[in-house]
Amino acid sequence: MDHFLYRDGALFAEDVAVADIAASVGTPFYVYSTATLERHYRLFEEALAGMPHLVCYAMKANSNLAVIRTLGNLGAGMDVVSIGEYLKAKAAGVPGDRIVFSGVGKTADEMRTALTGGIRQFNVESEPELLALNAVAMSLDQTAPVTIRVNPDVDAKTHEKIATGRKEDKFGIPISRARAIYAEAAALPGIEVVGIDVHIGSQLTDLAPFEQAYGKIAELTRQLRADGHNIRRLDLGGGLGIPYERSNSAPPLPLDYGAVIKRTLGDLDCEIEIEPGRLIAGNAGLLVSKVIYVKSGEDRKFLILDSAMNDLVRPSMYGSHHDIVPVNEPGPGLEPQPFDVVGPVCESGDTFAKQRLLPPVAAGDLVAFRSAGAYGAVMASEYNSRPLIPEVLVKGDQFAVIRARPSYDAMINRDSIPEWL
Ligand SMILES: *Cc1c(COP(=O)(O)O)cnc(C)c1O
């Protein structure tokens, strides 16, 4: 459920007409709904009620400071995958003891900054990382709280590029080697083992892979405890999918996901952490764009928009579907027509949708991509020297620009020309 609904034929973000935002900030832009962000966060809170837990929002889905602050104000923790995200979380007011640090390539500098600034735990992904963290912690006279990410060799049955829990994926340590590596970790003076971490992939639309992975984690918890480790925290990653197509059957709800966690891990007396990103931010955002031209090709019509793959790369990168809707609801009785929806970037990959059935649209009309709040703005680039587009946050009848559109001068002046030229 989201808060982007039509009122009298006009698309609203909560109580603000999307067309009014467009008139104020220009197109294209991203717009996020506070109510949807908050609702999705609370769904996870409710799903884990009764167990000690922390919902750590996976910031990589949408790391705008205002989005982080919105969730942080509700008590959310943060899952960060770079020191840049860590510093953003801190800048948004999230305390270090609610930040977990994931990722396969943490550098010693990143570790030092996080240890100095305060961190809930490092989710360590390899033996060399463990040794590097030990050295950094010892140099600071600290001990680093650590979970070790295990790779349970479970196929998340999702897109190739976002499956992370199979043995051929780069993430975590093989579960078969876990006991040996935990023994090694326990002997390191700069390391304090606090738990286990797992994350098997993104946009999962079936609970079975979670159930399988978490079952293996339950077994490993018992084994590691028998080996003498104080396993008291289980970080279960993110990955719950969202409905990108309204017409399709809906993926499982957070409540059902919570039930899987309770069933598989509920009797272990562990604190549970989860790291949802997409489900919190995805359907809390729209990308709003204007039609520049409607062009008739030999056998098809192209809808040429002012947004492009550099603004929203998911369709060209993953072949993803985003529902596209007109900002002004079409009148009754208008037959939908097939369009290829494309951007102005100079490559054919800059295609949002092929032969998409849309109501008749004309140059100047506004359209909105749904489900664009996660992995949208954060993956944008300035390819084709198109400045990053603004982000807007709505709350009730208010809206605010939370990232301004840079001027062309600002974009140009980021480069510099050496003296010898
Ligand atoms: C990407 C990622 C997440 C979030 O995944 P979603 O599918 O957005 O919920 C959580 N944890 C880790 C370690 C990740 O890499």
Domain boundaries along the sequence of the chain: 4-31+282-413, 103-274
Position 248 scores a pLDDT of: 74
Q: pLDDT tens for residues 19-64?
A: 999 999 999 999 999 999 999 999 999 999 999 999 999 999 999 9
pLDDT value at residue 161: 83
Ligand 1 pocket residues where CB is under 6 Å: 58, 60-61, 79, 81, 102, 199, 202-203, 237-239, 275-279
Give residue 260 CA to ligand 1 midpoint distance, Å.
18
The reply to whether the predicted model has a pTM over 0.75 is: yes
Tell me which of 275, 320, 371 to substitute to probe ligand 1's pocket, judged by most ligand atoms within 8 Å of the beta carbon.
275
Query: pLDDT tens across 65-111, in order?
Result: 999 999 999 999 999 999 999 999 999 999 999 999 999 999 999 99
CATH top-level class of 103-274 = alpha beta
Tell me the percentage of the chain whose pLDDT exceeds 70. Answer: 100
- When pLDDT is cut at 50, 70 and 90, the band that residue 303 belongs to is very high
State yes or no: pLDDT of 160 exceeds 90.
no
C-beta of residue 31 within 8 angstroms of C-beta of residue 18: yes
Binning pLDDT at 50, 70 and 90, where does residue 268 land? very high
Work out the pLDDT band at 270, boundaries 50, 70, 90.
very high
pLDDT at 167: 82
Atom of ligand 1 nearest to the CA of 102: 13
> Residue 158 has what pLDDT?
84
Span from the CA of 251 to the centroid of ligand 1 (angstroms): 17
Catalytic residues: 346
Percent of the chain with pLDDT over 90: 92
The pLDDT value recorded for residue 225 is 98
Q: Is the pLDDT of residue 392 over 80?
A: yes
- What pLDDT score was predicted for residue 262? 98
Q: At residue 380, does pLDDT exceed 90? A: yes
Mean pLDDT on 185-210:
97
Mean pLDDT for 225-239 is 98
Q: Is the peptide bond before 28 cis (omega within 30 degrees of 0)?
A: yes
How far is 144 from 146, CA to CA, in rounded Å? 6
pLDDT, position 331: 83
Taking the centre of ligand 1 as the mean of its atom positions, its distance from the CA of residue 248, in whole angstroms, is: 23
Residue 156, pLDDT above cutoff 90: no
Average pLDDT, the chain: 96
Write a three-state SS string for the chain: CCCEEEECCEEEECCEEHHHHHHHHCCCEEEEEHHHHHHHHHHHHHHCCCCCEEEEEEHHHCCCHHHHHHHHCCCCEEEECCHHHHHHHHHCCCCHHHEEECCCCCCHHHHHHHHHHCCCEEEECCHHHHHHHHHHHHHCCCCEEEEEEEECCCCCCCCHHHECCCCCCCCCEEHHHHHHHHHHHHCCCCEEEEEEECCCECCECCCHHHHHHHHHHHHHHHHHHHCCCCCCEEECCCCECCCCCCCCCCCCCHHHHHHHHHHHHHHHCCEEEECCCHHHHHHHEEEEEEEEEEEECCCCEEEEECCCCCCCCHHHHHCCCCCEEECECCCCCCCCEEEEEECCCCCCCCEEEEEEEECCCCCCCEEEECCCCCCCHHHCCCHHHCCCCCEEEEECCEEEEEECCCCHHHHHHCCCCCCCC
pLDDT of residue 168: 81
Q: Domain spanning 4-31+282-413: which superfamily?
A: Lyase, Ornithine Decarboxylase; Chain A, domain 1 (2.40.37.10)
